[in-house]
A and B are shown apart, each in its own frame.
Chain A
Amino acid sequence: MKPRQLEPSGPVAGMGLTAELGGRPWQSPPKYSTPEQALEYYLPRLTSPDSYDELLDVLELGVPVTAIADSLQTGGVMQGLHTVDVGILILPVLMEMLAYIGDDAGIEYNLGIDTPMDEDKIRDSQIALAMRKARERIPEAVEDAKDGEETEPMMDQVEDTPEPSMAGGLMARRQQ
């Protein structure tokens, strides 16, 4: 039996037990418990002279405002500044503030809400990953399928094989 390969994107088994409960910043009570307190932390930082020019550069480069706002609030959650709920609540305000900064500086920016969010559409990378997994699991079946595609089936062989009788229904066992 082949050993299972670890998924690079997934957590390693037992990873959640590598630190004591409450040892991580997000496991302790948040520093700012209300959205207003969290915004009092974020908004001065957005407009501070240190980060203002960099922020404008990033906006001008075409990085979506949604991406910047999401990174900001996710970082805050990881630092234990506020909860995820407060982060979601302040997201629209952060986005609006970033857009205000962009408008104030007179630059063209991408708000990041125009791209259609098609939940049903499957990305090419996901299809490729699923195909790779399928190949690993059933290598023989794939090889057989490849052989079948490459070589044309001979007419004699096709005629010789008896057609399975469907009298017993779809779930019935096939006759040999």
Chain B
Amino acid sequence: MYGQAKKAYLNMENYLKSDEDTKPVGKTSGLLGRNKQQDIKEDMQDNPTQRMANLVQRIRKARMEIKNNETTSA
């Protein structure tokens, strides 16, 4: 029933595991006198999935810190 959330979470996991070359780019802006890599980087920053992935990574980092504190204190 709640497969939608599970799928979204697992898709995000796969997205975080994928490297820069395999990540999908939301839009193409062409090469009109600009560096292609720069364009891709800007596109990636504008990508909503990437923005959410950044948030997920930040929260996950905080979770890991909590878990590490628990293990060191115990």
What residues on A are CB-neighbors of B2 within 8 Å?
64, 66-67, 70, 112
Interface hits, B46-69 → A, CB 8 Å: 48-49, 51-52, 55-56, 59-60, 62-63, 66-67
B31 at the binding interface (Cβ < 8 Å): no
**Can you name the residue of chain A whose Cβ is closest to the Cβ of B49?**
A89
B38 at the binding interface (Cβ < 8 Å): no
How far is it, in angstroms, between the C-alpha of A91 and the C-alpha of B48 when the chains are bound?
A: 13
Per-position binary interface string of chain B over residues 1-43, scored 1 when its CB falls under 8 Å from any chain A CB and 0 otherwise: 1111111111110000000000000000000000000000000
13 other A-B residue contacts (CB within 8 Å) besides A67-B2, A117-B3:
A67-B1, A70-B5, A89-B8, A92-B9, A93-B52, A95-B8, A96-B56, A97-B59, A99-B63, A103-B63, A103-B67, A112-B6, A117-B7
Total B residues in contact with A, Cβ cutoff 8 Å: 25
Task: Identify which of A12-20, A33-41, A126-134, A168-176 touches chain B.
Answer: A33-41
Verify A106–B56 contact, CB threshold 8 A.
Answer: no
**Can you name the residue of chain B whose Cβ is closest to the Cβ of A86?**
B48
What residues on A are CB-neighbors of B12 within 8 Å?
92
How far is it, in angstroms, between the C-alpha of A95 and the C-alpha of B63 when the chains are bound?
A: 12
Majority-rule SS of A interface residues: helix
Chain B interface (Cβ < 8 Å from any Cβ of A): 1-12, 48-49, 51-52, 55-56, 59-60, 62-63, 66-67, 70
